[in-house]
Amino acid sequence: MNPDFLVIGAGVAGLRAAIELAEAGRVLVVAKESLQESSSEYAQGGIAVALSDDDEVELHEQDTLYAGDGLCDRAAVRKLVEEGPAAIQELIEWGAEFDREGSKLAFTREGAHSRNRVLHAHGDSTGREIARTLYRKAASLENITFRSHAATTELLESDGEVWGAWLHEPVGARAVLLATGGLGAVFLNTTNPDVATGDGVAMAYRAGAVIEDIEFVQFHPTALHVEGAPRFLLSEALRGEGAQLRNAGGERFMERYHPLGDLAPRDVVSRAITAEMIRTLAPHVWLDFRHKERGFARARFPRIYETCLRYGIDLETEAAPVAPAAHYAMGGVKTDLHGRTNLPGLYAAGEAACTGVHGANRLASNSLLEGVVFGALAGRAMREEAGRAGGSRGVPSGGEPQGMEVDVRRIAWEDCGIVRTAEGLKHAAGLLEGHLDRNEALVAWLIARCALAREESRGAHFRTDFPEKRAEFEKHTLVRRDGNIEFR
C-alpha cells in the first residue's frame, strides 16, 4: 500500500520531518543503505545553538551571516537561530543526552563563533546521539515505517507535480521529502559516507526543480590521510583544544597564512595545507597533539582517539597525517522557509536542500541544527498542504544507472576542488557531459558549470583566475533542467 508521505533519507532531517508527519498519515522513511549510514551518524563536533547564559540569537545570527560571505538568506538565518533553542529543548525532552558540566549544559567554542555555543554529546558523537534520539522517537510512532537498502532512483512527476518516487517499483505519496544529505562522495577525498552522492539534487534536477548555489562546497582541512583508510574527520575541536598543524618539515606554517593561525577559517586552512603539500611535495601535513597532557585526547575525543588507534596512530604520542577532503554542500535543492521546492508535492530539507542559511560558507555546527529545524518545518508544511491521495499514474522506467565509464570522483577532486581555474572547470564539464545519466556525474557537472560561471572567489569557492570577491556576483546561482544558469 502506498504511504501518504514518502521521506527519502533517514538522517536528522528526514527523521525529524517524519515525526512531524506521523499524526497526519502513514509515513515511509527510506535509506540507501542501513538506517544508520548517514552523515548525521558521523557528525562529531556538535550542534550550535544560542542557549548559554552569555549568548543571544542575534549573535548567532551575526556569526552565521558573516561566515556566509554575503550570500545568506537573512530570513532563513533568522528562522534557524530563533527556532534553534526550542528544537534543542525538544531533543532533550525526547532523551538526547548532551554533555554537561555539573547540571548545566556544556558549551564549547568552534571557529568563527563569537560565543561558546556548541553542544556536544559523548565528547565527539553528537550526530549519532541526535539521530539515535530521533530514531527512537520515530520508531515509537505507529504510523512510521522504515525501509533500509532502498535506493530511490527517480522522482515520479507528471505535469510539473511530484507524486512519488521509484524504489525498485513506483511508490506514490501525497508529498515527497528529499532528505538525502550531501554530495561529498562525488569527490575522491571526502569525510562523507559513500551514500552522500547528491542523489537528491540529481533526482530533483531531472524532475524540474531549481538547484541553487551548488558550486559552494566546503572542504574540511583535517581528514585522516592513511593509505587505504576512509578519510575520517579529525574535528576542528582538536585545534580548538590546542592541536597544531605542521608541514612535512615539522614547521608550524599557519601563522604565515592567517593571523588566527591554526584556528583560521576552514577554507583558508584547506588552501594553506594544499599549498604546503605542493611546496613540500608531501601527500599530507601533520596534526600534532603530543604536547597535551596524557589522557586528554582519549577522554575528550574518545571516538577520534579510538579510530586513529585503529589505523595505527596513537594521538597522545604521535602526530596524525591529515589532508583536506570534501565535507559539506552549502547549495542544493532550492527551498523556501518551509521546505517547499518549486514543484508541488516535492519538499527538501537538511543538507540536500538550499534554504540559504549557509550562503557561500557554513558556520561550523550549523548543519545539524538546520536539519532538525527545517526538517520539522518541512514536515509541518507537508502535513498541512498535501491534500491529494497518492496513487499510480503514468510511470517512467526506474532507469537503473549504467556502469561508470569516467572517474567522476577524480575529475571532481582535481578540477572542481579546493583551488579552481576556468581551464580545469571547463575540462571537468567536458569530460562529464556524456555521462549525465549517473547521479555523481550530473552533480559534478552542475558544480563545474556553476563554478565556471561564478567568476570570483567567495566563501568556499576559490578561483586562482578570479581571486577576489566581486560585487556583481553577490547573487545566487540558479540552474534548472534546461541547463541554463541564472544569477539572482
Ligand X SMILES: Cc1cc2nc3c(=O)[nH]c(=O)nc-3n(C[C@H](O)[C@H](O)[C@H](O)COP(=O)(O)OP(=O)(O)OC[C@H]3O[C@@H](n4cnc5c(N)ncnc54)[C@H](O)[C@@H]3O)c2cc1C
Residues taking part in catalysis = 266
Does 14 engage in binding with ligand X (CB under 6 A)?
yes
Q: Which of residues 336-395 bind ligand X (CB under 6 A)?
A: 350-352, 365-368, 371
Does 43 engage in binding with ligand X (CB under 6 A)?
yes
For ligand X, the closer of residues 127 and 265 by Cβ is: 127
* Least separation in angstroms between CB 110 and ligand X: 8
Q: Among 10-18, 77-85, 332-340, 379-387, which window interacts with ligand X (CB under 6 A)? A: 10-18
Residue closest to 3 by CA, chosen among 180, 204, 164: 164
Q: Which of residues 229-248 bind ligand X (CB under 6 A)?
A: 233
Q: How far apart are CA 192 and CA 348, in angstroms?
A: 19
For ligand X, the closer of residues 43 and 451 by Cβ is: 43
Q: What are phi and psi of 361, to 5 degrees?
A: -160, 140
| Contacts with ligand X, 138-167, as mask; x by CB under 6 A | ------------xxx---------------
For ligand X, the closer of residues 78 and 120 by Cβ is: 120
* Least separation in angstroms between CB 244 and ligand X: 21
Q: How far apart are CA 182 and CA 199, in angstroms?
A: 8
Does 19 engage in binding with ligand X (CB under 6 A)?
no
Does 42 engage in binding with ligand X (CB under 6 A)?
yes
Q: What are phi and psi of 44, to 5 degrees?
A: -105, -60
Q: How far apart are CA 15 and CA 173, in angstroms?
A: 17
**Amino acid identity for residue 460 in this structure:** A
Q: How far apart are CA 80 and CA 184, in angstroms?
A: 23
Q: Which of residues 434-453 bind ligand X (CB under 6 A)?
A: none
Q: Among 31-39, 75-83, 204-212, 298-306, which window interacts with ligand X (CB under 6 A)? A: 31-39
| Strand order, beta sheet including 211-212 | 353-354, 332-334, 211-212, 477-479, 485-487
* Least separation in angstroms between CB 456 and ligand X: 25
* Least separation in angstroms between CB 181 and ligand X: 2
Secondary structure element (H or E) that encloses residue 413, with its range: helix 408-415
For ligand X, the closer of residues 184 and 424 by Cβ is: 184
Among 19, 21, 44, 273, binds ligand X (CB under 6 A): 44
Secondary structure element (H or E) that encloses residue 175, with its range: strand 175-178
* Least separation in angstroms between CB 419 and ligand X: 22
* Least separation in angstroms between CB 321 and ligand X: 17
Q: Among 41-49, 252-260, 262-270, 333-341, which window interacts with ligand X (CB under 6 A)? A: 41-49
| Contacts with ligand X, 198-217, as mask; x by CB under 6 A | -x------------------
Query: Do residues 67 and 359 make contact, with C-beta atoms less than 8 angstroms apart?
Result: yes
Integer angstrom CA distances of residue 307 from 37, 51, 203, 313, 486: 17, 31, 34, 9, 44
* Least separation in angstroms between CB 292 and ligand X: 21
- Cβ neighbors of 249 (< 8 A, separation 6 or more) are 280
Q: How far apart are CA 144 and CA 359, in angstroms?
A: 33
Assigned C-alpha cell, 375: 526538517
Among 64, 192, 270, 361, binds ligand X (CB under 6 A): 192
Residue closest to 53 by CA, chosen among 90, 85, 98, 96: 85
- Cβ neighbors of 381 (< 8 A, separation 6 or more) are 338, 339, 340, 347
Beta bridge mates, 224? 322
Among 133, 189, 191, 218, binds ligand X (CB under 6 A): 191
Does 91 engage in binding with ligand X (CB under 6 A)?
no
For ligand X, the closer of residues 38 and 355 by Cβ is: 38
The residues that touch ligand X, with contacts defined as CB under 6 A, are 8-14, 30-33, 37-40, 42-47, 126-127, 150-152, 179-182, 191-192, 195-196, 199, 233, 328, 350-352, 365-368, 371
